[in-house]
Every structure is written in structure tokens, then in C-alpha cells.
Amino acid sequence: MSMEQIEVKILDRTVKLQVPSSEKPRLMNAVQIVDQKMRSIRDAGMAHGTERIAVHAALQITYEFLGQPVDSGAATIEQVQTLVAKLNNDLDEEIRRHDGVR
């Protein structure tokens, strides 16, 4: 499976990600959802600071996801938790990298 490194913008921050080429459209859809959710949280004043906004977005997206009907192809709670933890780690890394550049 060939991996592709891409750069995406989430809440005006550039994030580098690796994704299998066949999964790129799905990842880009996820990036759009996360970006929109984070912007709506920021714009509504529900949280301040990128990390808090990211946590609120992760919780809201996960809550919405878990409210969906379960089918045989759905991710398990453990898979979602693992994905959310990885996304949080990736976001933390990117925030630290950007804070170090300034």
C-alpha cells in the first residue's frame, strides 16, 4: 500500500499527515469535518485556545458518531478512542512545532 504525505489546514494551522493513497478522499472529508467543527466552536466562543477547541471538537464528533446506528462495518469504541488519541497526539505535536517556530 503506497503512503502519501499531505499537508492540510485545520483551524488555520498546517498539519502534515501520511495516508494511503486509496484513503486520501476519506481523510480529506474528515479534515473538512474537523475544521468546520473547530471553527464553529471557536466562533461560538465555547472554548478558547487551540487545544481546548480540539478537545471539544473531538468530543462532539465522537458523540455524534456514537449516536449513529451501528452496522457491521462500523468502528468499535476502542477503534474510535485509538483514533481520537492519535489525532490528539498529532495535533499536540503540530501545536508544539508551530509554537517553537514563532
Confidence grade of residue 73 (pLDDT, cut at 50, 70, 90): low
In the predicted structure, residue 72 carries a pLDDT above the cut 60: no
- 40, 32 Cβ separation under 8 angstroms: no
Domain 1-67, second-level architecture: 2-Layer Sandwich (3.30)
C-alpha atoms less than 13 angstroms from C-alpha of 61 in its C-beta half-sphere? 22
* Secondary element (H or E) of residue 6: strand 3-10
Rounded distance, CA 16 to CA 19, Å?
10
* Model-wide pTM > 0.85: no
- Domain limits, the chain: 1-67, 69-101
Whole-number mean pLDDT of the chain? 82
C-alpha torsion sign, points 49, 7, 37, 43: positive
